[in-house]
């Protein structure tokens, strides 16, 4: 590792191969962070500018302690003597299904990836984050507060992630700041997949937003970068919305 690299701040980003993950990697790299990108695939998405990639299945990270410890050690080896300034828990699964149909395995996978992995990753990096006066940023969702049919597993996991953010900020204060972002519709594969049977509704969704457009992954990434800034010491346990105004729209039949 070069002396320049040693001085750099590190950030660990999960779900790096996804739409928002890619924007997070690009934004943090552009701001001078040394990015450790992780995702379930064997390799990083081509074209990403980050230098380090660790393949992690977060479902297994939760269920298999030995695997989890090995993956933690792999990341800590990459950080070495440098500072780990931020952990961004961005990976998630969105398994659709109602109370009547969700299998145990779908329910468990959702909670493992979206809720339990963020907790165990934060726990694994506590010492390193504290030494850097660093922070955790959890990417939650508007579904933490408002949801719709067939999103019961996802919405439950995100409500718990936002709640966990507040509880962890209290528990870890003043050692590590913990914040979350609750985006509404951001134009990524996850969102478009949800509309694959009704693509015409995507345009309608756009027009529902007071700003008349969907969010961009880069907007979430910029907010995450702001939360990660060391100068934002007074920002802890906060759950910020980024919704194009849709969270203030009253849906009544009139």
Ligand X SMILES: NC(=O)c1ccc[n+]([C@@H]2O[C@H](COP(=O)([O-])OP(=O)(O)OC[C@H]3O[C@@H](n4cnc5c(N)ncnc54)[C@H](O)[C@@H]3O)[C@@H](O)[C@H]2O)c1
Minimum separation from the CB atom of position 181 to ligand X (A): 8
Nearer to ligand X, 111 or 139 (CB): 139
Evaluate whether 13 touches 88 at the Cβ level (below 8 Å): yes
Nearer to ligand X, 218 or 232 (CB): 218
Which of 11, 19, 152, 155: binder of ligand X (CB under 6 A)? 19
Does 118 bind ligand X (CB under 6 A)? Our answer is no
- Characterise 143 by phi-psi region: left (phi > 0), alpha (psi -120 to 50), beta (else): alpha
Nearer to ligand X, 57 or 83 (CB): 57
Which of 90, 116, 179, 236: binder of ligand X (CB under 6 A)? 90
Does 242 bind ligand X (CB under 6 A)? Our answer is no
Minimum separation from the CB atom of position 199 to ligand X (A): 15
Size of the site for ligand X (CB under 6 A): 26
**Residue 118: phi, psi to the nearest 5?**
-55, -40
Detail the DSSP E strand segments found in 56-112: 83-89
Q: Of 24, 37, 17, 12, which Cα lies nearest the Cα of 217?
A: 24
Minimum separation from the CB atom of position 81 to ligand X (A): 27
Q: Return the SS3 of 89.
A: strand
Does 78 bind ligand X (CB under 6 A)? Our answer is no
Residue recorded with tokens 């995450």? 224
Does 116 bind ligand X (CB under 6 A)? Our answer is no
Minimum separation from the CB atom of position 41 to ligand X (A): 6
Does 40 bind ligand X (CB under 6 A)? Our answer is yes
Across the beta sheet with 9-13, the strand order is 52-55, 34-39, 9-13, 83-89, 135-139, 177-183, 239-242
Question: Of 1-9, 25-33, 57-65, 163-171, which segment contacts ligand X by CB under 6 A?
Answer: 57-65
Alpha carbon separation from 19 to 26, 39, 107, 220 (Å, rounded): 11, 12, 23, 11
| Number of other CB atoms surrounding residue 7 within 10 Å | 11
Nearer to ligand X, 32 or 66 (CB): 66
Q: Of 160, 137, 171, which Cα lies nearest the Cα of 242?
A: 137
Nearer to ligand X, 29 or 92 (CB): 92
Does 227 bind ligand X (CB under 6 A)? Our answer is no
Does 191 bind ligand X (CB under 6 A)? Our answer is yes
The structure tokens listed for 90 are 């961005």
List residues binding ligand X (CB under 6 A).
Answer: 15, 17-21, 39-40, 56-59, 90-93, 113, 139, 141, 183, 185-186, 188-191
């Amino acid at each position: 590792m070069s002396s320049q690299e040693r001085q750099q701040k590190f950030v660990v980003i999960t779900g790096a191969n996804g739409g928002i993950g890619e924007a997070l990697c690009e934004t943090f790299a552009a701001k001078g962070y040394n990015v450790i990108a992780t995702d379930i695939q064997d390799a990083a998405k081509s074209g990403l500018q980050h230098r380090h990639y660790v393949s992690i299945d977060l479902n297994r990270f939760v269920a298999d302690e030995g695997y989890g410890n090995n993956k933690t050690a792999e990341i800590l080896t990459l950080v070495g003597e440098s500072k780990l300034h931020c952990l961004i828990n961005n990976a998630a699964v969105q398994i659709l299904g109602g109370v009547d149909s969700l299998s145990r395995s779908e329910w468990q996978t959702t909670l493992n990836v979206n809720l339990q992995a963020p907790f165990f990753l934060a726990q694994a990096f506590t010492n390193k984050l504290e030494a850097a006066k660093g922070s955790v940023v959890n990417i939650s969702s508007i579904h933490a507060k408002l949801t719709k049919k067939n999103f019961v597993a996802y919405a439950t996991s995100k409500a718990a992630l936002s709640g966990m953010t507040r509880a962890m900020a209290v528990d870890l204060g003043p050692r590590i700041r913990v914040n979350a972002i609750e985006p509404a519709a951001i134009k990524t594969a996850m969102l478009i997949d949800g509309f694959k049977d009704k693509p015409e509704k995507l345009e309608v969704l756009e027009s529902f937003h007071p700003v008349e457009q969907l969010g961009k992954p880069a907007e979430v990434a910029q907010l995450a970068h702001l939360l990660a800034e060391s100068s934002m010491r007074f920002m802890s346990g906060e759950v910020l919305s980024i919704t194009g105004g849709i969270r203030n729209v009253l849906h009544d039949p009139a």
